[in-house]
Structure 1
Amino acid sequence: MRWDSLFDDLEAQLNEQSQAQLREEIAENIRIERATAELLPTLVRFSGHEIALRVSGGTELRAKLGPCAADYICLETEHSQWVIRCSAIQTLALPPGKVPIAEQHGAGRSVKFSSVLRGLLRDRARCQIFSRDGISLAEGTLAQVAKDFLMILVHPRDEYARSQQVSTQLLIPLEAIGWVEAKHLS
């Protein structure tokens, strides 16, 4: 009887040590995972959800998160679309609750900032260009998106980009751009 009690006690101690070791390993793995987390994979999990963010200059936006890449994110509402460089983002407010499970697709990751702007050019969307500091650089219709700059036709807000309406053609280096807002025509 004493042997049974001794072995039961040793077995319970071993079981408790195993459980403690497992808890420590799980805690360590969580610490490592959190320490090595990066912005893009974290944001991709919230694609399709509404987020709020503050960009340079204090502008606050609330919209549905679209495609994300290493250097920009896309947002969309019923009336506007934004392409925002990550370097212009000051804070992001994610939806409360559990973090959605990561999806395995890499949508948007390899699409360059200039390629997204070319999409706005094709749509002939009315755009407002902001600097990395949040200053409005220009408003009008994109005319060209080159490798390292874009050209925007500046014209009155309620007019189309016809030659008699265009007051200026501005060249803006892509590196100077913090974000672009495109308004949907209604």
Structure 2
Amino acid sequence: MRWDRFFEDLEDQLDSEWEAERAALDTEAERLRLARLSLFERLHALVVAAEKAVVVDLVGGVTATGALVAVGPDWLAVEDGGARGALIVPLSAVAALGTTHADLLRSARGSTPGRLRERMTMGFLLRDLARRRVPVTLHATDGREYSGTIDRAASDHVDLALHEVGSPRRADLVTGHRIIPLSAVAHVRLDSPAALG
């Protein structure tokens, strides 16, 4: 009878040690998974499953609040409910992101974007806007605003034909041209609500 109790105690002790070891391995595996998680994957998870609007604090003190509608490896797009289109923000211009605790935890699980989405950089997006002749208002990091149409988007800069918001890009309405380094872009406001569709 004593031996039965002895073996039961040994068995319980072995089970406890096994569970403790497994919990430690699970914890370490979770730490490793989180160490590999990128901001892009977290933002992609918020686009897919966020329940509430996000707050995007930008470098320079500007804040945008709205639905996260699209992300790329170096940019995000927020539909902030304005009369105009979405706001496209390079990740280098994001100071912080605010969301609910539930969405924060949900984003920590991550989401694997498709291979095409991983290649859709800010330059890729701006080249598409140039191809489609979408009017934009480009906000520079120094606070200046430039309204017009992107004529060309190169690897690290854009050529912008300046014209009034709401007017088409026609030669007689263009008031000037600017070459703007992408490093100077704080955010880009699409002057056409359906431009990201």
TM-score, length basis structure 1: 0.84
What's the counterpart of residue 34 of structure 2?
34
The superposition leaves residues 77-127 of structure 1 with CA deviations (integer Å, 9 ceiling, x where unpaired) of 563122221111000113441406524524521123222112222333221
Count of paired positions = 185
User: Within 2, Cα distance between the matches of 1:158 and 1:12?
Assistant: 75
User: Within 2, Cα distance between the matches of 1:87 and 1:177?
Assistant: 9
What's the counterpart of residue 56 of structure 1?
59
Q: What is the identity, as a one-letter code, of the residue corresponding to 1:145?
A: A
User: Within 1, Cα distance between the matches of 2:193 and 2:35?
Assistant: 44
Higher strand share: 1
Q: What is the identity, as a one-letter code, of the residue corresponding to 1:99?
A: R
Classify 1:96/1:157 alpha carbon distance in 2 versus 1 (closer, same or farther; 3 Å).
Answer: same
Q: CA deviation at 1:3?
A: 1.0
Verify: 1:21 aligned to 2:24, yes or no.
no
User: Within 1, Cα distance between the matches of 2:115 and 2:143?
Assistant: 32
User: Within 2, Cα distance between the matches of 1:145 and 1:36?
Assistant: 31
Q: CA deviation at 1:185?
A: 5.9
Q: CA deviation at 1:170?
A: 1.3
Runs (4 or more) in structure 1 with deviation over 6 Å come to none
Specify which of 92, 115, 126 is matched with residue 87 of structure 1. Answer: 92
Q: What is the identity, as a one-letter code, of the residue corresponding to 2:143?
A: I
Q: CA deviation at 1:51?
A: 2.1
Alpha-carbon contact 1:120-1:182 (below 8 Å) kept: no
What's the counterpart of residue 43 of structure 1?
43
Cα RMSD, aligned residues only: 2.4
What's the counterpart of residue 183 of structure 2?
175
Verify: 1:76 aligned to 2:79, yes or no.
yes
Mapping 1:114-129, distance limit 5 Å? 114-129=123-138
What's the counterpart of residue 106 of structure 2?
99
User: Within 1, Cα distance between the matches of 2:30 and 2:124?
Assistant: 37
User: Within 2, Cα distance between the matches of 1:5 and 1:185?
Assistant: 74
User: Within 2, Cα distance between the matches of 1:163 and 1:104?
Assistant: 40
Q: CA deviation at 1:147?
A: 3.7
The superposition leaves residues 122-176 of structure 1 with CA deviations (integer Å, 9 ceiling, x where unpaired) of 3332211123x35234112222223433221222234333333222111212332
Could you tell me which runs of 5 or more consecutive residues in structure 2 were left unpaired when the two chains were aligned. Answer: none
